[in-house]
Amino acid sequence: MGNEPDRQWITIDDNPGSPHYNRVYAMWVDFHTLTPVPFVSFADARADGTHTNWSAPQALPEPPHTPQGATYLLPHVAPDGSIYTTVTNFNPKQGFCCTSAFVDKSTDGGMSWSVVGAAFSNVTPPPAIYPNTMIRDGIENTFTVGNHLDAQGRYPLYVAYEDFSAGVDNVLLTASYDGGATWTSPIQVNDNASRAGGVLADLARGQARAVTGDQRVEDLLRDLAPQVLGALRSRDPSRIGRSVRKKIFKNLVADADRPAGQDVGS
């Protein structure tokens, strides 16, 4: 595979009260054969549309039990200017069976970084293709930072992730209220009314809102196929009736919506 960059993510400190206001952070993973190495670089945006030179790329720190490297970076900036990212690890010695995610943090604008804790460990990832779908598995977890201080005076951190240990893809949500050092017991986000599971999508910025796709979509779309295909062929989305659109949305999306800072587990 060579030294190719992948899993690129970017975030901007857009809080005028932050000491690093308008700082742009770029993260990516450099794949050395099967050993991915995560990197970060930053630059400061100027009012005239230009920016400072990018800082020299530096490797993000990893716990000592990740000699095989790590991937999947999801940087977010807290209102106080602290920047966090999850970093996801697979275990190739066990056939990539188990997934873990730890959190890196910087409080000095990206100059230095440290590992602050693990959001989850030794979780069973889903197969390459989700059951009952034609959707390929992608990133195993998603991450966001709350924008209001919690009862402990910290900005809460939220991580949602996939767990296939039950034979279906469950989406779990956990939170940290001490800067990532400790995490709550996870709660399940998807309803799993049948053996169908949820497909992880994203966490909303500043809120613990986990959005999951539903694997029951295949049966739903089969029933709605005539109207959907007709609209696609005519290139006229209005041919998909409102009731059909509402049914698709209702069956494809499930929200676990909680105000930022509210406890999601104990």
| Mean pLDDT computed over every residue of the chain | 75
For the domain spanning 3-215+254-258, the CATH number is: 2.120.10.10
Q: 84 or 193: which carries more pLDDT confidence?
A: 84
Q: 188 or 23: which carries more pLDDT confidence?
A: 23
pLDDT tens per residue, range 155-176: 999 998 888 877 777 888 899 9
pLDDT at 139 over 90: no
Total-model pTM = 0.72
Domain boundaries, the chain: 3-215+254-258
Predicted pLDDT at 13: 96
Predicted pLDDT at 140: 80
Predicted pLDDT at 56: 96
pLDDT tens per residue, range 43-58: 999 999 999 999 999 9
Taking the mean position of all CA atoms in its chain, how far away is CA 113?
20
pLDDT band at 199 (very low <50, low <70, confident <90, very high): low
